[in-house]
Chain A
Amino acid sequence: MPKTPRTAIAAGVGLRLQHLAEVAATRPPAAWLEIHPENFLANAHAAELLDDIATHYPVSVHSVGVSIGSADGVDRRHLARVRELIERLDPFLVSGHLAWSTHEGEYLNDLLPLPYDAESLATLARHVDEVQQALGRPYHVENPASYVGFGASTMTEPQFLSELVARTGCRLLCDVSNIHVSGQNLGYDAYGYVDELPAEAIGELHLGGFVIEEEAGEGAGQVLIDTHSRPIDDHAWDLYAHALRRFGPRPTLVEWDNELPALDTILVEAARADAVAAAVLAEGMPNARAG
């Protein structure tokens, strides 16, 4: 049985290579840890430390390379490597992105956007089925941070995700910060987005920092870039509280991947997430509802 967070609301932190030795040596008070398998598959030393760490902490595996959105299909060689790691770690949760990152054998090292239409849905559903079958467990699909939309889209993102859940039985990783970022960038209501998601399918929440950049040109505004390089913005904290009221308590991850600070700084953010969750629970979650 995988180790699971001691309470559903306890916030975890992303375990990045720069903090690996410190975590292995000092075992800081993190409720759980999220790892990117791609950081460990080609690093035997890191994998060895991770094996030890995983005996002390619940672990969530979050792949950035499975690419369920690629029209070419899932990278089966990579999926097999991820499966091997998952079998060793026995994580309490496995997730990836609503995105594509490979094309004709090239890996683009980014999470690229999809048009939300019938063909994409059929493609995604086929690939999520394949991934869930290969891994032998539910796959949690994360909403992306988006900078563009497509003229071909016939569904909103939450409609698309809800359909994907209905077709595959997959679960969702709701990145609250991504909803705020995409909402600002594409001009939709982030709170309405949260309200549209199927609450019973949400298995995890994410929070991460972003930067604001000015766009050029007449009448241009700002664009929010999902960098995971800063503390979490107040707008995201407010939306997080709303998400908790709507979904109920869920394991929440604080992501920080770039301009990495001391681990203590990230743990402080996780403690803030715990405090927000505790305050929402104390309210009695008046708006919580399923579906």
Chain B
Amino acid sequence: MPALAETQAHLHRAIGGGDPGTALALLAGRFDPAQRLAIYRHHHRQSLTRHILGRFPTIQWLLGSERMQLLARDFTVAHRPTAPCIAEYGGAFPGFLGETDDATRHPYLPATAAIDWALGEVAVAIDHSPLAIAKLRARPQERLPDLRLQLQPGMRLLSAAWPVDDLVRLRLGKAPPERFVFDRQAVHLQLLGARGAFTIQRLDRGSFAFREALAGGASIGGAAVDAVAADPSFDAGAALAALFAAGLVTATTMPR
């Protein structure tokens, strides 16, 4: 009689698509063990695949349901969930997609999948009260470059070598345009969402680098250095004002 851990290892292997032989030998009763074990295997596969399909609607729209089903199934085998909140499962799919033949033929697919994933995250965020730029006046002005900013939790920044935001807009649009030109063009995107709604905005290279560095925990001064490196004409004062004006700053911290 196998120990519980051994029993679960055999079932785990069988349900995950491996050889069911040992697991079948553990089952007993007035039923066909293979057919009954297949119920669990089917549910496991279907539920995860369905979840992935739901999280990447633009990829499904681009590739079609049949191909997406196969990709999602392969992904669920290669990348198993590790936690019970299944909504958090699937973040590795854009990278997985990048290793497939589909991405060789359509190199914009991984970035498009990254947008799908990020939109799913930002749409369920809640926004916090924005901070007015006037609050900065209370800070010692000579130390403003050291200040760190907390940004809205529903903000994500993504760069892509293709204008993949156009694909998402196209999918969400009511009617397809007469003509759609899709050429390689680098885009720097800000996705902002809260309570079921979201926006996608293109940023210039300097503003994107500035916001990306701030979101990563850099100080205002450090983020400005990154932004100038990305765009020598970057205006830190204007970028900071724009950040506050857009309601993106929710708190500030000054290191000691």
The interface of chain A, by Cβ under 8 A from chain B, is 21, 38-39, 41-46, 48, 63-67, 70-72, 75, 77-78, 81, 100-110, 112, 114-115, 117, 119-120, 123, 147-152, 185-187, 215-217, 220, 223, 225
Contacts and interface: CB of A to CB of B under 8 A. Distances in A.
B182 interface: no
Given A42-B87, A43-B124, A147-B31, A107 B39 contact: no
20 contacts: A38-B86, A38-B87, A41-B85, A45-B196, A71-B5, A75-B83, A78-B83, A104-B9, A107-B86, A108-B12, A108-B44, A109-B47, A115-B26, A123-B4, A148-B27, A148-B37, A149-B27, A150-B27, A151-B28, A225-B39
B130 interface: no
Nearest to B13: A103
Question: Lowest 7 A-B CB distances belong to which pairs?
Answer: A65-B84, A151-B28, A71-B5, A149-B29, A103-B12, A42-B87, A147-B36
A217 B35 CA distance: 10
Nearest to B47: A109
B81 A148 contact: no
A42 B28 contact: no
Interface of B: 1-5, 7-9, 11-12, 15-16, 26-33, 35-37, 39-40, 43-44, 47-48, 80-88, 123-126, 153, 194-196
B28 A48 contact: no
A112 B194 CA distance: 36
Q: Which of A64, A75, A103, A220 has the most CB of B within 10 A?
A: A103
Contacts of B195: 45, 48
A109 B40 CA distance: 10
A66 B83 CA distance: 10
Nearest to B87: A42
Contact of B82 (A45, A106, A110): A106
B89 to A, nearest CB: 8
